[in-house]
Amino acid sequence: MRNVKVVVEYDGTDYHGFQFQPGVPTIQGELERVLGKIVKERVTVYGSGRTDAGVHAAGQVINFRTRGSIPTSRLCVAMNSLLASGIAAVEATEVEGDFHARYSARSRLYRYDILNREMPSALAGRFCWHVNRALDVEAMSTAAECIVGVHDFSSFWCAKGDDHCPIRDMMSVDIRRCGEHVIIEMRANAFLRSMVRVIVGTLVDMGLGRLPGGVMGDILEARDRQAGGRTAPPQGLCLVEVEY
């Protein structure tokens, strides 16, 4: 059996998340459909992260095992000729048999894009959260400092799913203003379901003055989802990079 790694990107707007669900369009379901046609056998796709419905990816990594003989140099072209709109295969390589897109990963980088101006954007609306009041980026950055490190992130855990341990290593949080946009980037060894979106929603509440920035540590220590802020909408979130 060959083990093949593929980097894919997608606009998640029209999909019910990465993970396969019967009867609705998902990224995993579409990838398995296409790869099955190419290698002429049923395949199971493993992803580095199970992005939520409406979340995008510029650097999602998958792997699958196959007896098919198609060269990796031709695989992306073949995939892109069959994939539905909004999904593209970018790079394919053959990897060692023990490689797993999820369990071999050392870190993931997510980026959240906030359009911070009075009026929304007709063009960028699928890929950002429109916040029409000015955000205090300095206050948000200060608040974010206390979540860097190894912590129990239960206060930012929207739905448990099949994750059993809420301990994660948040390696970095960077918040910056880029013109009319506020960009939030988080790198961690792994993320809980909806964790980035809950953290972003909490930081935005602090940036708007709805929550005092000084309580971020208290929210973290509470280990209770009810202590945190709102959950940011999915369209601003993108899985940018997976490190192995």
The confidence band for 164, taking pLDDT boundaries of 50, 70 and 90, is: confident
The answer to whether position 39 is within a domain reads yes
| Cβ atoms of residues 206 and 214 within 8 Å | no
The answer to whether position 100 is within a domain reads no
Between CA 18 and CA 2 the distance in angstroms is 23
- For 96-139, the pLDDT digits (tens) are 999 999 999 999 999 999 999 999 999 999 999 999 999 999 99
Place of tokens 């239960």: 154
- For 64-107, the pLDDT digits (tens) are 999 999 999 999 999 999 999 999 999 999 999 999 999 999 99
For the record, the structure tokens of 217 come out as: 């540590």
Place of tokens 């394919």: 92
Catalogue the active-site residues: 52
Same domain, 232 and 113: yes
Same domain, 142 and 37: no
Same domain, 120 and 203: yes
Mean pLDDT of 166-183: 97
Range of the domain at 137: 107-243
User: Taken in order 158, 161, 167, 171, is the CA torsion positive or negative?
Assistant: negative
For the record, the structure tokens of 156 come out as: 């930012």
| Closest by Cα among 139, 158, 170 to 224 | 158
| Cβ atoms of residues 153 and 188 within 8 Å | no
Beta bridge mates, 6: 62, 92
Using the 3D structure, point to which of 44, 66, 95 is the last residue of a domain: 95
pLDDT of 162 over the 70 cut: no
